[in-house]
Amino acid sequence: MTDPIAHLSASGHLDQIFVDGCWRAPHGGGRASVIDPASEAEVAQIALGDGEDVDSAVAAARRAFDGWSNTPVDGRVALLRRIHALLLDRADLFARAISLEMGSAITAARAAQVPFAAEHVRVAAENLAEFAFTSLRGTTAIAREPVGVCALITPWNWPLYQITAKVAPALAAGCTVVLKPSELSPLSAVLFAEVMAEAGTPEGVFNLVQGTGPVVGEALARHPGVDMISITGSTRAGVLVSQAAAETIKRVALELGGKSPNVVLPDADLERAIPLGVAACMRNVGQSCSAPTRMIVPRARLAEVERLAAATVSAFVLGDPLDEATTHGPIANRAQYERVQRMIEVGIAEGAKVLSGGSGRPAGCAQGWYARPTVFSEVRTDMAIAQDEIFGPVLCIIPYDTVDEAVAIANDTVYGLGGHVQGTDLEAARAVARRIRSGQVHLNHPAWDPQAPFGGYKQSGNGREYGIEGMEEFLETKAIVGFA
């Protein structure tokens, strides 16, 4: 197997950005360390760009826009399919890079992080091939046209997945892009830029500028040459980007935080629903904005829920992410590890019942940012652990007495990104799903659907990703009256 660090060091691309079809040294002289969260050791450094690099990348994307936006659909489809094939060809290299840069268990990286990322590209090609860019409404033509130059800002928790979820639909729509990935998990982004180059992406259509949020992110948000900015990140980051983007009235798409409910109805099959609910909460070590971190359960069945939840956590295997037996690796970075520890201590201080876990490292993990998978029960909805996004392996079990109360608890949050409902009576589960104020609701733990639009209500953001709606975010609507 190829070592991602050895590969990238040999290529020299850790010291470069990708602008206008070329790898080049950035103008900015900054550097960032890539830290292996399992060992806390520096494994590489990357060069960081600055405002001048942003200017160069935006200018390249602007020059490329007319040509790319007028490229026939079949040409854009062909590029996306080449990208998809290359991602699959290099799947193990990407998986190992993701494990190294943010601690994902290699089995999870291979089963979810990489293949789901590739699916975003395949789906974008599929949707593009069938999309009607012009339709008639009476005698008026409704034309859908690309927004223009798009700045894409992606996070550290699903590094490749979030890149493809933005880049693929933007390119499908005919936009050109400047990508700023998280400087905390940059390896997979550099590997992705290599894929874009090898796939034959025209010069300037895709550009990569590594950098920090306050420097590169803010420069992109304020840049008058950027027509749209799409960010996945914290609600605080979304506010800052929106404020900076307001100066130039650019379109802003925000996929932000969450505190998603998992409503377990009285007739649910607990033997199935509870283990799957715990696993969904703690997938990616709880570092998913849509993770169902609030399990809302019938008070009469609380003891049974507690038994099943504790048993599920006890089967987790924490350890070296590259060990095939590991189910859960470390928290991705020190700052997030420290936040998770603080929030676990807050939950204990608030009087929540600790079923499993607690603060500190797990046994056998003397180094690395490992957190103990923690399940709190008898949580009240006014507790901080029930309201604040923790972004770690922490589940809150909240009891209810009536279904109306369960729905009220589910909606008692500033967020509205995801939701889950479990119940044997499907019509009753559907009725509850319609009452939950969030952009996506899962019934009875279905398979992941890359065509299902994803995005938030309330402080979870605006706009949608994935599927047709994900591509439509990158399109303007033009009415040509008297066309027919």
Spatial neighbors of 467 by CB under 8 A, at least 6 apart, are 123, 127, 450, 451, 452, 453
Residue 285 has pLDDT above 60, yes or no: yes
Residue 29 has pLDDT above 90, yes or no: no
Q: Write down the pLDDT at residue 1.
A: 53
315 alpha carbon, distance to own chain's centre:
26
Q: Write down the pLDDT at residue 254.
A: 97
pLDDT in tens, 206-228: 999 999 999 999 999 999 999 99
Beta bridge partners of 42: 35
pLDDT band at 161, cuts 50/70/90?
very high
Q: Write down the pLDDT at residue 327.
A: 97
Task: List the structure tokens of 479.
Answer: 């009415």
Task: List the structure tokens of 230.
Answer: 């799409």
Residue 317 has pLDDT above 70, yes or no: yes
CB contact at 8 A, 373 and 392: no
Q: Does 3.90.1720.10 match the CATH number of domain 261-449?
A: no
Residue 446 has pLDDT above 80, yes or no: yes
pLDDT in tens, 96-145: 999 999 999 999 999 999 999 999 999 999 999 999 999 999 999 999 99
Which positions are annotated as active-site residues?
255
pLDDT in tens, 458-480: 999 999 999 999 999 999 999 99
What's the CA gap between 160 and 167, in Å, rounded? 10
49-to-43, 62, 210, 290, 311 alpha-carbon distances in Å: 20, 19, 6, 31, 47
Residue 2 has pLDDT above 80, yes or no: no
Mean per-residue pLDDT of the chain? 97
pTM, two decimal places: 0.97
Max CA-CA distance within the chain?
73
What's the CA gap between 463 and 411, in Å, rounded? 20
> What is the domain partition of the chain in residue ranges?
4-256+460-480, 261-449
CB contact at 8 A, 369 and 349: no
What's the CA gap between 171 and 190, in Å, rounded? 18
CB atoms within 10 A of CB 134: 12
CB atoms within 10 A of CB 242: 16
pLDDT in tens, 30-64: 999 999 999 999 999 999 999 999 999 999 999 99
pLDDT in tens, 357-383: 999 999 989 899 999 999 999 999 999
Looking at the structure, give the CATH architecture of the domain made up of residues 4-256+460-480: 3-Layer(aba) Sandwich (3.40)
